[in-house]
Amino acid sequence: RARQVEVVREAVLHLLATDPTLEPRDVIVMCPDIELFAPLVNATFGSAALAGAPELRARLADRSLRQTNPFSAVAAHLLELAGSRVTAAQVIDFASREPVCERFGFDEDALAQIERWLAGTGVRWGLDGAHRANWKLESLEVGTWQAGLDRLLLGVAMADHGDLFGGALPYGDLSGGEVELAGRLAELVDRLRSALDELARPQSPQSWARALLSGTASLTRTSTQHAWQSEEFRHALEPLVGEPTEAGRPDVPAALLDLSEARALLADRLRGRPTR
């Protein structure tokens, strides 16, 4: 695929060199799967100028909102977490999303510290024992987010004590400046738990869209400069939220979608639309 993109670049340069009336804006290259080729196009056309070749600007159209809008990427990630094991790696990946970092004040150092805490407190997967019931392990709390956060927050309150409290051993490796970060991590997991609870049961298409909008809003924040991103994401789902529901008609049963059906429906709403 990389070679195909290189050949396209050379072919376009040849056409421009042989036809003085042709301008770059007159050239359109069609592609069967733009998401597959987008990184290669950016890399190939961007590196050409650095290598001494004539500069060619390529603008990609029809890309999905998930790839171009960070809020849509967060929403898609939420749908992936729903019904999953919610591993430590998945949550760290989710927390590193730009709008999530903005909401909870995370930077690279904070995320690195959180990773060290998760390793030290033994967080592996599962929000708590009840969440592990889907895998028949509801009686095993060790390694869940709840157990790890209990240890971490007890370490904040009982930094000088090494005794068990309520069956949990305080994690005592916290400095005074890390207390606030521990609280922000606990808030993230709590909000994530609430959002995933809303995405855990069959419901109408309108309810799925509202739950995704609400969950994304509770976990993200953006600057005034990038406010258009949240608006674009909200507008993508607004038609679904506003569609008339048939649940109020006695002769028509309410249509309830499970998670896989909702993922297909909402993914369709976040697909790219024709652009310039």
pTM for this predicted structure: 0.73
Radius of gyration (Cα) for the chain, nearest Å?
24
Convert the pLDDT of each residue in 118-177 to its tens digit.
999 999 999 999 999 989 898 888 999 999 999 888 887 775 555 656 566 778 767 777
Summary mean pLDDT of the chain: 83
Q: Could you tell me if 1 and 42 are in contact, meaning their C-beta atoms sit under 8 angstroms apart?
A: no
Give the pair of three-digit tokens for residue 176: 């005074």
Convert the pLDDT of each residue in 22-47 to its tens digit.
988 899 998 887 777 888 888 888 66
Q: Could you tell me if 13 and 29 are in contact, meaning their C-beta atoms sit under 8 angstroms apart?
A: no
* Plot region of 24 (φ>0 → left; ψ -120 to 50 → alpha; else → beta): alpha
Question: What pLDDT band is residue 267 in, cutting at 50, 70 and 90?
Answer: confident
pLDDT at 274 over 70: no
Closest-CA residue to 13 (of 60, 45, 61, 50)? 45
Q: Could you tell me if 230 and 220 are in contact, meaning their C-beta atoms sit under 8 angstroms apart?
A: yes
Question: What pLDDT band is residue 233 in, cutting at 50, 70 and 90?
Answer: confident
Q: Could you tell me if 171 and 150 are in contact, meaning their C-beta atoms sit under 8 angstroms apart?
A: no
Sign of CA dihedral 132, 133, 137, 142: positive
pLDDT at 228 over 60: yes
Report the C-alpha gap between 43 and 4 in whole angstroms.
Answer: 13
Convert the pLDDT of each residue in 55-72 to its tens digit.
788 887 766 555 667 888
Report the C-alpha gap between 188 and 218 in whole angstroms.
Answer: 9
The whole-number pLDDT of residue 112 equals 93
**Span of 45-59, 93-107, 238-252 with lowest mean pLDDT:** 238-252
The whole-number pLDDT of residue 109 equals 93
**Got the DSSP string for the chain?**
-HHHHHHHHHHHHHHHHH-TT--GGG-----S-HHHHHHHHHHHHHHHHHTTSPP------S--HHHH-HHHHHHHHHHHHTTS--BHHHHHHHHTSHHHHHHHT--HHHHHHHHHHHHHHT--B-SSTTGGGGGT-TT--TTSHHHHHHHHHHHHH-TT--S-BTTB-------GGGHHHHHHHHHHHHHHHHHHHHTSS-B-HHHHHHHHHHHHHHH----GGGHHHHHHHHHHHHHHHHSPPSTT-TTS----B-HHHHHHHHHHHTS-----
Q: Could you tell me if 78 and 215 are in contact, meaning their C-beta atoms sit under 8 angstroms apart?
A: yes
According to DSSP, the residues that pair with 165 across neighbouring strands are 168
Averaged over 75-99, what is the pLDDT? 92
